[in-house]
Structure 1
Amino acid sequence: MNDNAPQPPSRRSVLRTTAGVAGAGIGLGALGAGHAEAASPEAVAAAAATTEEAARAPRRRGATMAGVPFEGRSTVRVGIVGLGNRGGSMIDLFLALPWVRVVAICDPVREKAERAAAKVVAAGQPSPGLYTNGEHDYENLCERSDLDFVYVATPWELHLAMARSAMLNGKHVGVECPVAMTLPDLWELVDLSEQTRRHCMQLENCCYGRNEMRVLRMAHAGKFGELLHGAGAYNHDLRELMFSPTYYEGPWRRIWHTKLRGDLYPNHGFGPVANYMDVNRGDRAVSISSFGTPALGLAEYRAKEMPPGDPSWKESYIGADRTVSLVQTEKGRVIRLEHDVSTPHPYSRINSLGGTLGVFEDFPARIYVEPDHKGHQWGDFAEYATEFDHWLWKEHANPPGGHGGMDYIMTFRLMQCMQLGLVPDFDVYDAATWTAPVPLSHASIKAKGMPLPIPDFTRGEWKKARSGVDSAKPVT
């Protein structure tokens, strides 16, 4: 393994080649980010023209990153940017891996950084460098010469700048979802990854859920026959948390509901189903058509729970309480995506997959596949664990950390790939594809469900079969 990996192109040279080539696309939507007024025919035509342009890949300025391995190293040195609820818990998982060192941490709230630093020291590692001097101190963290990987867990609008800084300074980067908020920003991340030769990954933990990984292996083994349809969602009642004065650092997540009508968080649902269908690995997502309900839930919750004079009373919510999107793939398959964080309901990611031999549905998990089942009665999904559980779940049957252990499985696997010099399970093309429904669903809803093209971020590489989350156990 090579602990002194060759350096990527210089930050200056990449900045020269990326200036002005973020690519065509839409920002908050070609139809605007305003209220739910009907779109004019002219606006619909403009949306169609703009998104058609966005679907055409800009000229590649670097070789593909599909199938590119990490440089092996005995120790993976990590910097963490953002130490709120997510970053503050994920640091424990990095520290649980003996070949990982947390060498730098960043958050403008110094108390959070100091608490995280205490965890590092308690784990027997040297005290990390602290970067707490304002909103841009992450740039100084990224400039360190003793970092291999930067983990970003901050408000969504900051993801692009932080990922850009990491790659331009020679670091691989993993970003919590969504990876960026506009099509031009997604193209910029793709271009930067290719030019800097650094991986930029959407850290989609749900791809590593035990059920998701079992369904993935069953799909690849042909248990569902020819795949036809799938569904994924983020249906999670967040009203109390979004109005809490302490859970998030400020109202940033709630504010996004004043800007976009569409699916703000498609990755948890889209990522696993895309894996089942080998999207970007033999199939690709080609179009999306989205629909949204009126935006009533947050305002009704505010009226019941928030006192007069609370700053939230100045906000006007336009985000649809529930969005439903239909994604078509090149092979004709259909993926349904849902998003609802504004109304009362139990948690569900739906996580469904169907084919010519049967179907799986989650929350709760149930399965019906021929010839194993008959009489139109659901079967026991647990019966497939022995044969189809992924090797990661067999090796880590009771993983530590949140979300049922999927966070640890994801962290372990990513850090393992970096240590051993393996190809990552997903890459910048997956990050861009799984996030594209954010701006596109907004534009489609504003255009009354008009289908809009999803760019081919791989620039043709999707036609080639390659490895993904259904990975073989490495020989060490």
Structure 2
Amino acid sequence: MQLNRRRFLSAGAALAGSAVYAGALPGAFAATRDKVRIGMIGTGMRGQTLLRELVRRDDVEIAALCDVEPIMLGRALEQIEKAGKPRPATYGQDRDDFAYRRMLDEGKLDGVIIATPWEWHALMSIDAMQARVPVGCEVVAGVSLQDHFDVLDTQLKTGTPYMLLENVCYRRDVMAVLQMVRKGLFGELVHMQGGYQHDLRAVKFNSGDPARPIGGGAEYGKKGWSEARWRTSHSVRRNGELYPSHGIGPLAMYANINRGNRFTRINSFASKAAGLHDYVVQQGGKDHPNARTQFRLGDIVTTTLSCDNGETILLQHDTSLPRPYSLGFRVQGSKGLWMDINRSVHVEGISKPHAWDDFALWQQQYDHPLWRKHGERAAGAGHGGMDFFVIHAFVEALKQEAPMPIDIYDAITWSAITPLSEQSIALGFQTIDFPDFTGGRWRSRKPIFAFDDRY
């Protein structure tokens, strides 16, 4: 790991100050294209959701699709046909796991979206960047810590743009809070919380029927379908904060991580694992073969991070127990705080003492210009409109040859929380150092996540 760390720091020094180093295309800001040719690797349920946003746009040509599952590839083609768009080239019908490489070589693509199982993200991103095809990668950036070093090393050496498609940064209330943070309404930030608190039991297990991808059984792996085919295995063999970016993304932007601030230390604690076993028994009975599966992932994983500027951050991963969905955001400073779980805010000197304000009125006042501008276009998009914005940001950055708003440093720093948390837990919940993936450049990089009209 030390060798690779030196290698990517050396590459970073060689590229320091250049437009490509900032995540821009070689001719950054020099021109604007009217239309971009996009390819997609992975046309499963998540891929089809993103594809829905792409086919709505007149400035995007879906040039190529790749998937090794014919059913999903067929559904994606139906989407394109119903939208009245030209049929793209297709790859993967032969079930060649590496058919995407032919697509990258032959497609003459302006960008590629990667929406495949996690274990493929790093390799596919590296191959795309080496082919000089800009990447929009679904979360996560990689699985192992080495994956993250390798993805970063490739981006720094090639200068090919990379964006993590983390859509929660575009949630309407999250962006309003960003406005409030930037205007100093919470004072000096002190502590923040977030996480991924989402009952995924019916995602991790189903009957294996392609017509019922959510719930209805206790199968996973080869007998499962959709995410149950690959995602559940991570709960079997890994124990850590497996999906950090939904929680950490907005918090990192509030705290200017990698842009005047950075994570310095991390530790994680994991509870026992009980929820997934109980669910398998509930769905398949105590004699079902999967009732014997030993799950390593703790039902509740709690991760804490310290920052160079003195803030603390708490994340919680909670996907194996019955619960309503919540990301559990809390942003607290010297003058007040916001909490999304009760949709409330308190600002000293404005709110009544020791009383909450309904956040709705504050959100209306500080609604982000992007939501004011594009809210109607985002209506009906996945995840409450957030999927529109994340695709819009990627496409606009490609068209304008501009830096990616969620760049390589953001992607690697947020996603690396997973293997670092696994390491902490394996060491008996020890606190460990958080790598400086920017090689010291965090000190001079400026907060640019302003979501201006380009994005």
Greater CA drift, 337-346 or 63-72 = 63-72
1:348 alignment partner in structure 2: 326
TM-score (norm: length of structure 2): 0.89
- Cα deviation digits, residues 173-214 of structure 1 (max 9, x gap): 111111101111101111101111112221100011001111
2:35–2:60 Cα contact (<8 Å) kept = yes
Which residues of structure 2 form unaligned runs of 5+?
A: 214-224
2:24 alignment partner in structure 1: 69
CA RMSD of aligned residues (A): 2.1
1:198 alignment partner in structure 2: 160
1:290–1:445 Cα contact (<8 Å) kept = yes
Q: How many Å apart are 1:387 and its aligned residue?
A: 3.6
Higher relative CO (CA 8 A, sep ≥ 6), structure 1 or 2? 1
Change (3 A) 1:257 1:464: same
Corresponding residue SS for 2:175: helix
1:214 alignment partner in structure 2: 176
Identity of aligned residues (%): 33
1:151 is aligned, of 108, 113, 125, to: 113
1:67–1:466 Cα contact (<8 Å) kept = no
1:291 is aligned, of 269, 277, 283, to: 269
2:219 alignment partner in structure 1: none
1:436–1:454 Cα contact (<8 Å) kept = no
Change (3 A) 1:307 1:337: same
Change (3 A) 1:225 1:103: same
1:420 is aligned, of 377, 382, 400, to: 400
- Cα deviation digits, residues 322-374 of structure 1 (max 9, x gap): 01011001111101010011111111101211100000000232100122112
Which amino acid is the alignment partner of residue 471 of structure 1? Answer: F
Change (3 A) 1:96 1:468: farther
Q: How many Å apart are 1:443 and its aligned residue?
A: 1.3
TM-score (norm: length of structure 1): 0.85
1:54–1:183 Cα contact (<8 Å) kept = no
2:245 alignment partner in structure 1: 267
Q: How many Å apart are 1:297 and its aligned residue?
A: 1.1
Q: Distance in 1 between matches of 2:241 and 2:261?
A: 23
The answer on 1:472 being equivalent to 2:452 is: yes
Q: Distance in 2 between matches of 1:218 and 1:55?
A: 39
Corresponding residue SS for 2:142: coil
1:163 alignment partner in structure 2: 125
Q: How many Å apart are 1:265 and its aligned residue?
A: 0.4
Q: How many Å apart are 1:237 and its aligned residue?
A: 0.7
1:66–1:427 Cα contact (<8 Å) kept = no
1:34 alignment partner in structure 2: none
1:93 is aligned, of 53, 76, 81, to: 53
Which amino acid is the alignment partner of residue 114 of structure 2? Answer: V
Q: How does 1:8-157 map to 2 (within 5 A)?
A: 23-24=1-2, 58-60=9-11, 62-64=14-16, 65=20, 67-70=22-25, 71=27, 72-132=32-92, 133-134=94-95, 135-157=97-119
Q: Distance in 2 between matches of 1:465 and 1:372?
A: 33
Corresponding residue SS for 1:431: helix
Corresponding residue SS for 1:60: helix
Which amino acid is the alignment partner of residue 359 of structure 1? Answer: L
Corresponding residue SS for 2:316: strand
2:425 alignment partner in structure 1: 445
Q: How many equivalent residue pairs? A: 426
Which amino acid is the alignment partner of residue 443 of structure 1? Answer: Q
Q: How many Å apart are 1:314 and its aligned residue?
A: 5.2
Change (3 A) 1:161 1:277: same
Q: Distance in 2 between matches of 1:405 and 1:311?
A: 40
Q: Distance in 1 between matches of 2:56 and 2:446?
A: 30
